[in-house]
Chain A
Amino acid sequence: MNHLIDDTIPPFDDAAHEREWLAQERAMRRERLQLDPAGDDARGRRYRAVARALREPLAEALPADFAQRTAGLVATAQVQRAPSGTRFEFALTLVLAAILTLAAGVVTAIYGSAWLPSFSAILPAPHAPASGWLLALAGCLGASWLLGLWQRRGHG
Protein backbone atom coordinates (compact mmCIF):
# COMPACT_ATOMS: atom_id res chain seq x y z
CA MET A 1 0.00 0.00 0.00
CA ASN A 2 1.27 3.41 -0.93
CA HIS A 3 2.47 5.50 2.06
CA LEU A 4 2.98 8.63 -0.01
CA ILE A 5 -0.66 9.31 -0.82
CA ASP A 6 -1.49 12.88 0.12
CA ASP A 7 -4.80 13.21 1.98
CA THR A 8 -5.23 16.92 1.23
CA ILE A 9 -7.67 17.77 -1.55
CA PRO A 10 -6.33 20.79 -3.45
CA PRO A 11 -8.74 23.54 -4.61
CA PHE A 12 -9.23 24.19 -8.34
CA ASP A 13 -7.21 27.05 -9.83
CA ASP A 14 -10.39 28.39 -11.45
CA ALA A 15 -12.64 30.06 -8.84
CA ALA A 16 -15.80 29.25 -10.85
CA HIS A 17 -14.86 25.56 -10.91
CA GLU A 18 -14.24 25.56 -7.17
CA ARG A 19 -17.67 27.19 -6.58
CA GLU A 20 -19.28 24.55 -8.80
CA TRP A 21 -17.42 21.80 -6.89
CA LEU A 22 -18.70 23.17 -3.57
CA ALA A 23 -22.24 23.21 -4.99
CA GLN A 24 -21.82 19.54 -6.02
CA GLU A 25 -20.56 18.62 -2.55
CA ARG A 26 -23.33 20.52 -0.78
CA ALA A 27 -26.00 18.83 -2.91
CA MET A 28 -24.48 15.41 -2.20
CA ARG A 29 -24.53 16.04 1.56
CA ARG A 30 -28.09 17.42 1.49
CA GLU A 31 -29.32 14.46 -0.54
CA ARG A 32 -27.57 12.04 1.84
CA LEU A 33 -29.38 13.70 4.78
CA GLN A 34 -32.62 13.85 2.74
CA LEU A 35 -33.09 17.55 3.52
CA ASP A 36 -35.99 19.53 2.05
CA PRO A 37 -35.18 20.53 -1.58
CA ALA A 38 -36.88 23.87 -0.91
CA GLY A 39 -33.57 24.95 0.62
CA ASP A 40 -31.68 24.28 -2.65
CA ASP A 41 -31.25 26.54 -5.64
CA ALA A 42 -31.81 25.29 -9.22
CA ARG A 43 -28.19 24.12 -9.53
CA GLY A 44 -28.35 22.28 -6.20
CA ARG A 45 -31.58 20.54 -7.15
CA ARG A 46 -30.08 19.27 -10.39
CA TYR A 47 -27.06 17.93 -8.52
CA ARG A 48 -29.41 16.32 -6.02
CA ALA A 49 -31.16 14.51 -8.88
CA VAL A 50 -27.72 13.32 -10.01
CA ALA A 51 -26.90 12.21 -6.44
CA ARG A 52 -30.19 10.32 -6.15
CA ALA A 53 -29.46 8.38 -9.34
CA LEU A 54 -25.91 7.61 -8.20
CA ARG A 55 -27.06 6.37 -4.80
CA GLU A 56 -29.41 3.79 -6.30
CA PRO A 57 -28.17 0.20 -5.82
CA LEU A 58 -26.76 -1.50 -8.91
CA ALA A 59 -29.25 -3.55 -10.91
CA GLU A 60 -27.13 -6.73 -10.77
CA ALA A 61 -25.81 -8.23 -7.54
CA LEU A 62 -23.67 -11.12 -6.36
CA PRO A 63 -25.56 -14.35 -5.55
CA ALA A 64 -26.85 -14.57 -1.97
CA ASP A 65 -24.55 -17.52 -1.17
CA PHE A 66 -21.43 -15.90 -2.66
CA ALA A 67 -19.57 -15.62 0.68
CA GLN A 68 -20.39 -19.20 1.63
CA ARG A 69 -19.35 -20.55 -1.77
CA THR A 70 -16.09 -18.58 -1.87
CA ALA A 71 -15.17 -19.65 1.68
CA GLY A 72 -16.00 -23.26 0.71
CA LEU A 73 -13.75 -22.99 -2.34
CA VAL A 74 -10.84 -21.78 -0.21
CA ALA A 75 -11.42 -24.50 2.41
CA THR A 76 -11.52 -27.25 -0.25
CA ALA A 77 -8.32 -25.97 -1.86
CA GLN A 78 -6.61 -25.94 1.54
CA VAL A 79 -7.70 -29.47 2.43
CA GLN A 80 -6.57 -30.80 -0.95
CA ARG A 81 -3.26 -28.98 -0.88
CA ALA A 82 -2.14 -29.42 2.74
CA PRO A 83 -2.30 -33.21 3.30
CA SER A 84 -0.98 -34.20 -0.11
CA GLY A 85 1.95 -31.78 0.24
CA THR A 86 2.77 -32.86 3.80
CA ARG A 87 2.41 -36.55 3.00
CA PHE A 88 4.78 -36.26 0.03
CA GLU A 89 7.36 -34.34 2.07
CA PHE A 90 7.13 -36.86 4.92
CA ALA A 91 7.59 -39.83 2.57
CA LEU A 92 10.55 -38.12 0.92
CA THR A 93 12.18 -37.47 4.32
CA LEU A 94 11.68 -41.10 5.34
CA VAL A 95 13.23 -42.41 2.11
CA LEU A 96 16.18 -40.04 2.49
CA ALA A 97 16.74 -41.02 6.14
CA ALA A 98 16.63 -44.74 5.23
CA ILE A 99 19.17 -44.27 2.41
CA LEU A 100 21.51 -42.27 4.67
CA THR A 101 21.29 -44.84 7.50
CA LEU A 102 21.96 -47.68 5.11
CA ALA A 103 24.90 -45.84 3.54
CA ALA A 104 26.35 -45.04 6.98
CA GLY A 105 26.06 -48.70 7.99
CA VAL A 106 27.74 -49.92 4.79
CA VAL A 107 30.58 -47.35 5.06
CA THR A 108 31.17 -48.21 8.74
CA ALA A 109 31.18 -51.95 7.95
CA ILE A 110 33.71 -51.55 5.11
CA TYR A 111 36.04 -48.82 6.38
CA GLY A 112 35.20 -48.72 10.12
CA SER A 113 38.15 -50.87 11.18
CA ALA A 114 40.54 -48.30 9.61
CA TRP A 115 39.26 -45.05 11.16
CA LEU A 116 37.29 -45.99 14.29
CA PRO A 117 40.43 -46.45 16.44
CA SER A 118 41.61 -42.92 15.48
CA PHE A 119 38.27 -41.47 16.65
CA SER A 120 38.34 -43.30 19.97
CA ALA A 121 41.86 -41.94 20.53
CA ILE A 122 40.82 -38.28 20.21
CA LEU A 123 37.63 -38.66 22.29
CA PRO A 124 38.09 -37.41 25.87
CA ALA A 125 38.27 -39.95 28.67
CA PRO A 126 34.99 -40.31 30.62
CA HIS A 127 36.43 -38.57 33.68
CA ALA A 128 38.36 -35.82 31.86
CA PRO A 129 37.35 -32.13 32.68
CA ALA A 130 36.47 -31.49 28.98
CA SER A 131 33.72 -34.12 29.14
CA GLY A 132 31.68 -32.01 31.52
CA TRP A 133 31.86 -28.99 29.19
CA LEU A 134 30.93 -31.13 26.21
CA LEU A 135 27.92 -32.45 28.10
CA ALA A 136 26.91 -28.87 29.02
CA LEU A 137 27.22 -27.79 25.35
CA ALA A 138 25.11 -30.74 24.25
CA GLY A 139 22.53 -29.82 26.92
CA CYS A 140 22.39 -26.19 25.68
CA LEU A 141 21.97 -27.26 22.07
CA GLY A 142 19.22 -29.71 23.03
CA ALA A 143 17.41 -27.10 25.13
CA SER A 144 17.44 -24.46 22.36
CA TRP A 145 16.23 -27.05 19.83
CA LEU A 146 13.35 -28.02 22.13
CA LEU A 147 12.53 -24.34 22.75
CA GLY A 148 12.45 -23.68 19.00
CA LEU A 149 10.16 -26.65 18.52
CA TRP A 150 7.82 -25.42 21.25
CA GLN A 151 7.71 -21.87 19.81
CA ARG A 152 6.96 -23.15 16.30
CA ARG A 153 4.09 -25.24 17.65
CA GLY A 154 2.76 -22.24 19.62
CA HIS A 155 2.66 -19.95 16.52
CA GLY A 156 1.60 -22.59 14.03
Chain B
Amino acid sequence: MDDIRNNPDRDLVDAVLAHRPGAFERLVGEYQGLCWHIIQRMVRNPEDARELCQDTFLRVHQCLHQYRYESALKSWIGRVAYTIALRHLQHKRIPLAGNGDGDEGALVENIGDGFDLEAACANAETVQQLHAAIESLPPLQRTLLTLYYLEETPIPEIARITGLASGTIKSHLFRSRLRLRGVLETRTGVAA
Protein backbone atom coordinates (compact mmCIF):
# COMPACT_ATOMS: atom_id res chain seq x y z
CA MET B 1 0.00 0.00 0.00
CA ASP B 2 2.89 2.35 0.90
CA ASP B 3 4.47 1.48 -2.45
CA ILE B 4 1.40 2.83 -4.20
CA ARG B 5 1.38 6.02 -2.12
CA ASN B 6 5.09 6.63 -2.78
CA ASN B 7 4.83 5.70 -6.46
CA PRO B 8 6.32 8.56 -8.55
CA ASP B 9 3.55 8.12 -11.15
CA ARG B 10 0.86 8.61 -8.49
CA ASP B 11 0.59 12.42 -8.71
CA LEU B 12 0.25 12.42 -12.48
CA VAL B 13 -2.29 9.59 -12.51
CA ASP B 14 -4.34 11.24 -9.74
CA ALA B 15 -4.26 14.57 -11.57
CA VAL B 16 -5.50 12.98 -14.81
CA LEU B 17 -8.25 11.06 -13.00
CA ALA B 18 -9.33 14.25 -11.23
CA HIS B 19 -9.51 15.99 -14.67
CA ARG B 20 -7.04 18.68 -13.55
CA PRO B 21 -6.32 21.13 -16.39
CA GLY B 22 -3.18 20.25 -18.36
CA ALA B 23 -2.64 16.91 -16.57
CA PHE B 24 -3.49 14.66 -19.50
CA GLU B 25 -1.44 16.80 -21.89
CA ARG B 26 1.50 16.38 -19.48
CA LEU B 27 1.01 12.60 -19.48
CA VAL B 28 0.88 12.48 -23.29
CA GLY B 29 3.97 14.70 -23.53
CA GLU B 30 5.87 12.45 -21.17
CA TYR B 31 5.08 9.14 -22.90
CA GLN B 32 4.51 10.05 -26.55
CA GLY B 33 8.14 9.28 -27.40
CA LEU B 34 7.86 5.76 -26.01
CA CYS B 35 4.59 5.12 -27.86
CA TRP B 36 6.01 6.50 -31.09
CA HIS B 37 9.09 4.28 -30.83
CA ILE B 38 7.00 1.16 -30.21
CA ILE B 39 4.31 1.84 -32.79
CA GLN B 40 6.51 3.30 -35.54
CA ARG B 41 8.93 0.37 -35.25
CA MET B 42 6.05 -2.12 -35.34
CA VAL B 43 3.93 -0.69 -38.19
CA ARG B 44 6.52 1.48 -40.05
CA ASN B 45 3.92 3.51 -41.96
CA PRO B 46 4.14 7.03 -40.39
CA GLU B 47 0.47 7.89 -41.09
CA ASP B 48 -0.77 4.68 -39.48
CA ALA B 49 1.69 5.11 -36.62
CA ARG B 50 0.43 8.64 -35.85
CA GLU B 51 -3.17 7.45 -35.84
CA LEU B 52 -2.36 4.47 -33.63
CA CYS B 53 -0.47 6.72 -31.20
CA GLN B 54 -3.59 8.82 -30.84
CA ASP B 55 -5.70 5.67 -30.35
CA THR B 56 -3.24 4.58 -27.68
CA PHE B 57 -3.64 7.75 -25.63
CA LEU B 58 -7.43 7.76 -26.04
CA ARG B 59 -7.40 4.21 -24.69
CA VAL B 60 -5.02 5.21 -21.88
CA HIS B 61 -7.42 8.00 -20.90
CA GLN B 62 -10.37 5.62 -21.01
CA CYS B 63 -8.70 2.88 -18.93
CA LEU B 64 -6.41 4.82 -16.57
CA HIS B 65 -8.76 4.15 -13.63
CA GLN B 66 -7.87 0.45 -14.08
CA TYR B 67 -4.13 1.12 -13.55
CA ARG B 68 -3.18 -0.53 -10.22
CA TYR B 69 0.51 0.51 -9.92
CA GLU B 70 1.62 -3.12 -10.35
CA SER B 71 4.21 -1.94 -12.88
CA ALA B 72 5.65 1.44 -13.82
CA LEU B 73 3.23 3.71 -15.69
CA LYS B 74 5.73 3.67 -18.57
CA SER B 75 5.36 -0.11 -18.89
CA TRP B 76 1.58 0.07 -18.61
CA ILE B 77 1.31 2.70 -21.36
CA GLY B 78 3.93 0.86 -23.43
CA ARG B 79 1.82 -2.28 -23.13
CA VAL B 80 -1.25 -0.42 -24.42
CA ALA B 81 0.77 0.91 -27.39
CA TYR B 82 2.25 -2.52 -28.12
CA THR B 83 -1.17 -4.22 -28.00
CA ILE B 84 -2.71 -1.64 -30.35
CA ALA B 85 0.19 -1.96 -32.82
CA LEU B 86 0.04 -5.76 -32.58
CA ARG B 87 -3.68 -5.76 -33.40
CA HIS B 88 -2.95 -3.52 -36.40
CA LEU B 89 -0.33 -5.96 -37.70
CA GLN B 90 -2.69 -8.90 -37.18
CA HIS B 91 -5.43 -7.04 -39.04
CA LYS B 92 -3.03 -6.38 -41.94
CA ARG B 93 -1.74 -9.97 -41.73
CA ILE B 94 1.84 -8.83 -41.27
CA PRO B 95 3.97 -11.43 -39.43
CA LEU B 96 5.33 -10.16 -36.11
CA ALA B 97 8.59 -12.10 -35.83
CA GLY B 98 10.73 -13.76 -38.49
CA ASN B 99 12.34 -17.16 -38.34
CA GLY B 100 15.98 -17.43 -37.29
CA ASP B 101 18.51 -17.53 -40.12
CA GLY B 102 20.27 -20.56 -38.68
CA ASP B 103 23.77 -19.31 -39.50
CA GLU B 104 24.47 -17.91 -36.04
CA GLY B 105 27.14 -20.50 -35.27
CA ALA B 106 29.26 -19.39 -38.23
CA LEU B 107 28.92 -15.73 -37.31
CA VAL B 108 29.73 -16.31 -33.67
CA GLU B 109 32.95 -18.11 -34.65
CA ASN B 110 34.00 -15.72 -37.44
CA ILE B 111 35.30 -12.27 -36.76
CA GLY B 112 37.36 -9.99 -38.95
CA ASP B 113 40.72 -8.70 -37.73
CA GLY B 114 40.57 -4.95 -37.62
CA PHE B 115 37.68 -2.55 -37.57
CA ASP B 116 37.93 1.23 -37.46
CA LEU B 117 34.79 2.30 -35.59
CA GLU B 118 35.02 6.00 -36.39
CA ALA B 119 35.81 5.40 -40.08
CA ALA B 120 32.91 2.94 -40.39
CA CYS B 121 30.48 5.35 -38.73
CA ALA B 122 31.69 8.19 -40.93
CA ASN B 123 31.21 6.07 -44.04
CA ALA B 124 27.76 6.98 -45.38
CA GLU B 125 27.46 3.74 -47.32
CA THR B 126 28.18 1.57 -44.27
CA VAL B 127 25.75 3.55 -42.10
CA GLN B 128 23.08 3.36 -44.79
CA GLN B 129 23.58 -0.38 -45.13
CA LEU B 130 23.31 -0.81 -41.37
CA HIS B 131 20.07 1.21 -41.27
CA ALA B 132 18.67 -0.76 -44.19
CA ALA B 133 19.48 -3.98 -42.29
CA ILE B 134 17.69 -2.63 -39.19
CA GLU B 135 14.66 -1.72 -41.32
CA SER B 136 14.62 -5.19 -42.88
CA LEU B 137 14.33 -6.87 -39.47
CA PRO B 138 10.87 -8.24 -38.56
CA PRO B 139 8.62 -5.83 -36.55
CA LEU B 140 9.19 -7.53 -33.20
CA GLN B 141 12.98 -7.55 -33.48
CA ARG B 142 13.03 -3.89 -34.63
CA THR B 143 10.85 -2.88 -31.70
CA LEU B 144 12.88 -4.82 -29.12
CA LEU B 145 16.14 -3.24 -30.35
CA THR B 146 14.61 0.25 -30.26
CA LEU B 147 13.27 -0.23 -26.74
CA TYR B 148 16.63 -1.60 -25.58
CA TYR B 149 18.91 0.94 -27.26
CA LEU B 150 16.92 4.12 -27.84
CA GLU B 151 14.59 4.01 -24.83
CA GLU B 152 17.22 2.24 -22.70
CA THR B 153 14.48 0.01 -21.30
CA PRO B 154 15.82 -2.98 -19.29
CA ILE B 155 14.83 -6.49 -20.44
CA PRO B 156 12.37 -7.13 -17.51
CA GLU B 157 10.53 -3.89 -18.41
CA ILE B 158 10.44 -4.91 -22.09
CA ALA B 159 8.97 -8.20 -20.89
CA ARG B 160 6.15 -6.27 -19.17
CA ILE B 161 5.48 -4.22 -22.29
CA THR B 162 5.48 -7.11 -24.74
CA GLY B 163 4.31 -9.94 -22.48
CA LEU B 164 7.26 -12.05 -23.70
CA ALA B 165 9.58 -13.99 -21.39
CA SER B 166 12.94 -12.34 -20.63
CA GLY B 167 14.77 -15.33 -22.17
CA THR B 168 12.83 -14.92 -25.42
CA ILE B 169 13.67 -11.21 -25.57
CA LYS B 170 17.33 -11.97 -24.90
CA SER B 171 17.33 -14.50 -27.70
CA HIS B 172 15.73 -12.03 -30.17
CA LEU B 173 18.20 -9.28 -29.22
CA PHE B 174 21.13 -11.65 -29.55
CA ARG B 175 20.15 -12.88 -33.03
CA SER B 176 19.30 -9.40 -34.31
CA ARG B 177 22.60 -7.92 -33.15
CA LEU B 178 24.50 -10.85 -34.59
CA ARG B 179 22.72 -10.35 -37.90
CA LEU B 180 23.59 -6.64 -37.89
CA ARG B 181 27.20 -7.43 -37.08
CA GLY B 182 27.05 -9.79 -40.06
CA VAL B 183 26.34 -6.77 -42.30
CA LEU B 184 29.58 -5.18 -41.13
CA GLU B 185 31.47 -8.46 -41.56
CA THR B 186 30.24 -8.74 -45.15
CA ARG B 187 31.51 -5.22 -45.84
CA THR B 188 34.93 -6.01 -44.39
CA GLY B 189 35.08 -9.30 -46.27
CA VAL B 190 34.55 -11.97 -43.58
CA ALA B 191 32.40 -14.87 -44.68
CA ALA B 192 29.34 -15.23 -42.52
Contacts and interface: CB of A to CB of B under 8 A. Distances in A.
Interface of A: 1-3, 5-10, 12, 16-17, 20-21, 24, 28, 32, 37, 40, 42-43, 45-58, 60-63, 66-68, 70-71, 73-75, 78
Given A32-B152, A50-B177, A67-B32, A58 B37 contact: yes
B95 interface: no
Interface string B20-35: 0010111011001000
Contact of A17 (B61, B108, B113): B108
A37 B28 contact: no
14 contacts: A5-B156, A20-B174, A28-B148, A32-B152, A45-B120, A46-B112, A53-B131, A54-B146, A54-B148, A61-B36, A67-B26, A70-B25, A71-B24, A74-B58
Given A10-B167, A47-B181, A74 B61 contact: yes
Contact of A49 (B40, B46, B68, B120): B120
Contacts of B24: 70-71, 74-75
Contacts of B75: 1
Contacts of B105: 16
Given A6-B165, A50-B130, A21 B111 contact: no
B178 A20 contact: yes
A21 B57 contact: no
Contacts of B36: 58, 61-62
Contacts of B108: 16-17, 20
Given A20-B108, A20-B174, A71-B25, A54 B61 contact: no
Interface residues of B, number: 69
A101 B163 CA distance: 57
Contacts of A49: 115, 117, 120-121, 126, 130, 184
Contacts of A54: 134, 145-146, 148-150
A62 B51 CA distance: 10
B130 A46 contact: no
B50 A9 contact: no
Given A7-B156, A16-B105, A74-B57, 16 more contacts: A1-B76, A9-B156, A17-B174, A21-B174, A37-B117, A37-B118, A49-B115, A49-B120, A49-B121, A53-B134, A56-B131, A58-B37, A67-B29, A70-B24, A70-B25, A70-B28
B149 to A, nearest CB: 4
B37 to A, nearest CB: 7
Nearest to B181: A46
Nearest to B26: A67
A8 B145 CA distance: 19
Interface string B160-189: 100101110011011001101100110000
B174 A24 contact: yes
Among B126, B150, B177, B181: residue with most chain A CB under 10 A = B177
A20 B145 CA distance: 17
B32 A66 contact: yes
